[in-house]
Amino acid sequence: MRLTTLVVLCLFIVISLPWVSSADLLENTSSVTVKAPAVSAGPEPEGAVIEITVYVTEGKGRVFVNTEPFTQIDMQGSARLAAIVATDLLGIDFNRFDYFYVIKAETPVVGGPSAGGVMTVATVAAIEGWTINGSVMMTGMILPDGSIGPVGGIPYKLEAAKLEGVKLFLVPAGQTLVIREKRETVERGPFIFVRTVKEPIDLVKYGEEMGITVKEVSDLNEAVKYYTGYAVKQLMGGNISSQTYTEISRTMADAMKKDTNRLFEQAKKYGSLTGIEDLLKVAQEEYDSGNYYSATSTMLTARIQMRQIIYSNTLIDEKAIKDEMTYIDKEINDLKEDLKNESILNLQAFQLIGTAETRLYMAENYLQQAKEAESFSQAITYLALARERLETAKIWLTPYHEGVIRSSGMVISENKLRDRANFYISQALSLETYASSIGGHQELLSMADSSIELARSMFADGLYAGAVLSAVDGIVDASVSIEVIGISQNQLNEKVEKARISAENSISRLKDISEPIIPLTDYEFARTSKDPLIKLIFYRSADQTAKVLTFMSKSQPQIMTETEKAVNNESGVPAETPVPQENPELPGFTLSYSILSIIVTLFIIAHYRRR
């Protein structure tokens, strides 16, 4: 009787509870579905079409990918990069949303990042609530700077687009003329020979034969315009000069210069320093020109060489080397403890303390390499690097201790720093994995790996400011390793110029919140460098760091971009009127309180029977 009463009561609860869908739970969810061309994974290449649905909801910067059938890691890496680049274009914090990508294909397709561009377009449209024009299709990988990168198999993809009734087919810039390989069979007597023939194809003419307009597209914003009829307009920044930055960088240069002169007097006892004197002359010229950070960097190069000369002549036995290692080890640990006790009073303090932390952990890594060295000369080299990185860590703290920076401003909580550090380390790891899977620049990938390991070490020790900055370095290195794949010198120069403008805009916006110390050091280093690749890396670093600092601020500007209806829709294909999407159901995520109630009921019955 008691059991019957209990069952009736539970069933009453089940019937009376309403069904709650994911749309009810995720009120601010929007979605966009778009089709993308691909190449089937069969013995003979054929065009195929995959369906991509992007769901965006308020969240914490998580990316979820569901593929049917399973695809390679580069597709999943493309999804994460698509979310990053989309939010970057719109000038919003990646952490504001969670991103769901549902990718369906009728047949297995060749893995590759060629759907990255259209995934990014769909992400932008989902965030903004815009409708996608179904008569437009695109192939092209997305690069971290928003460029649309080259892909293969375009003729096959164009053929698949025809079957979908596509009117406009977008391809990466420079890829309207491609080479297609096809197999030919030749019979000679009893023998059959199969050979591969390269066939040039003009995709514009090929498209015309199928009633499709083929156009090149160079970047994400251009693609968004073709797909939605909307353009995203970056709000231009103003002047980036900063008196506070000048004072800070001059204070650091003066501290470095004073100690460098002392080191020079000590090193010249052991012989000629002609090459070092030339470096110091360049440093003085940079100082006189007001490029104080560049002067400090040049002095560091000279100091490392002088330190090697001094060590080679003073550390003449194993005991002397061990004594110096012990001294550096103690200095590193003492400074590490001091940094753990520092409070991050504001974004200025964050930049100085964080950079000091990164330099300190570089010193610790070099010291470890010196201890593991297989020869005297190798040990001396790493020991000199360790000592000088230790000294630069101290120099970065000089403006902080001398009161050059303001003590007012937003106090950054340890929890917020920890969360941000964890997020950026995760992003760096994902980008590095993706870059490796598509053949990123190996040297830059090695640099990214070093930065990420440094960030993880600092995170483990609770030095979160340094972990954030080092993780951002890893993100930049991995991103640039993708950007320079197969790039020409002219394309590299164009990227450098675009990176400079983007960095200036981001630095200018940060100035409304706090002094952009680290972004301006990176910007100055890029501006004074002669190497285009170095310029690109450091302009990107200035840009990314400025954005990170902006998003860390509670008082960040709410709008960094604005959208406008494209006046001239160059596609020739009328764009549908963009309308906000209704709250959709997330496949695989529907939940009902009724189901939950049934589970509870069964549990109660089972529990009753056991009793």
Q: What is the tens place of the pLDDT at every residue in 85-109?
A: 999 899 888 989 999 999 988 877 7
User: Is 60 exceeded by the pLDDT of residue 608?
Assistant: no
* Contact by Cβ (8 Å): 427, 144: no
Q: Over 90: is that where the pLDDT of 126 sits?
A: yes
Average pLDDT of span 477-502: 92
Two tokens, residue 482:
């993708």
The predicted structure's pLDDT at residue 411: 64
Decide if pLDDT at 611 tops 70.
no
- The CA R_g of the chain, rounded to the nearest whole Å, is 29
Mean pLDDT, range 38-50, rounded to an integer: 83
Mean pLDDT of the region 288-301: 95
- 58 pLDDT above the threshold of 80: yes
Q: Find, among 361, 401, 393, the residue nearest to 296 by Cα.
A: 393
C-beta of residue 42 within 8 angstroms of C-beta of residue 606: no
Q: Is the pTM of this model over 0.75?
A: yes
Q: Would you say residue 474 has pLDDT above 50?
A: yes
What's the pLDDT band for 559 if we cut at 50, 70, 90? very low
* % of the chain surpassing 70 pLDDT: 81
Query: CA 56 to CA 332: how far, in whole Å?
Result: 45
Residue 12 has pLDDT above 70, yes or no: no
The better pLDDT of the pair 486, 324 is held by 324
> What value does the mean pLDDT take over residues 214-240?
88
Which pLDDT does position 3 carry in this prediction? Answer: 47
Closest C-alpha among 210, 80, 221, 202 to residue 148: 221
The SS3 assignment for 183 reads strand
Element (H, E) at 304: helix 292-314
Angle at 378 between CA 377 and CA 384, to 5 degrees: 90
Asked whether 25 and 591 are in contact (CB, 8 A), the reply is: yes
Residue 555 pLDDT greater than 80, yes or no: no
DSSP label at residue 149: E
For residue 99, list its beta bridge partners.
Answer: 56, 63
158-181 burial code (b ≥16 CB/10 A, e <16): bbbbbeeebbbbbbbbebbebebe
pLDDT, average across residues 369-393: 95
Closest C-alpha among 110, 98, 100 to residue 36: 110
Which residue is listed with tokens 């919140």?
A: 513
Q: Over range 354-380, report the average pLDDT.
A: 95
Residue type, 564: E
Burial of 340 (0-12, 13-18, 19+ CB in 10 A): exposed
Instruction: Tell me what the mean pLDDT of segment 9-31 comes to.
Output: 49
Predicted confidence band of residue 571 (pLDDT cuts 50, 70, 90): very low
Encode pLDDT of 572-600 as tens digits.
444 443 333 333 444 443 333 333 343 43
Res. 407: pLDDT tops 80: no
pLDDT of residue 584: 43
Q: What is the mean pLDDT of residues 224-235?
A: 88
Q: What confidence tier does 535 reach under pLDDT thresholds 50, 70, 90?
A: very high
Please give the pLDDT value at position 72. 57
Paired residues of 202 in beta bridges? 177
pLDDT at 563: 55
Q: Taking 80 as the threshold, does the pLDDT of residue 181 lie above it?
A: no
SS3 assignment, position 169: strand
431 pLDDT above the threshold of 90: no
Q: Which of 243-247, 327-331, 491-495 is most confident?
A: 327-331
| Residue linked to tokens 């960088």 | 249
What is the rounded average pLDDT of the residues 33-61?
89
Give the Cα separation of 555 and 371 in Å (integer): 46
Q: Please give the pLDDT value at position 57.
A: 95
Is the model more confident about 561 or about 521? 521
- Rounded to the nearest integer, the mean pLDDT of the chain is 83
For 408-419, what is each residue's pLDDT tens digit? 555 677 888 898
**Is 165's pLDDT higher than 90?**
yes
pLDDT at 10 over 80: no
Compute how many other C-beta atoms are within 10 angstroms of the C-beta atom of residue 569.
15
- What pLDDT score was predicted for residue 445? 96
| Predicted pLDDT of residue 568 | 40
pLDDT at 161 (0 to 100): 95
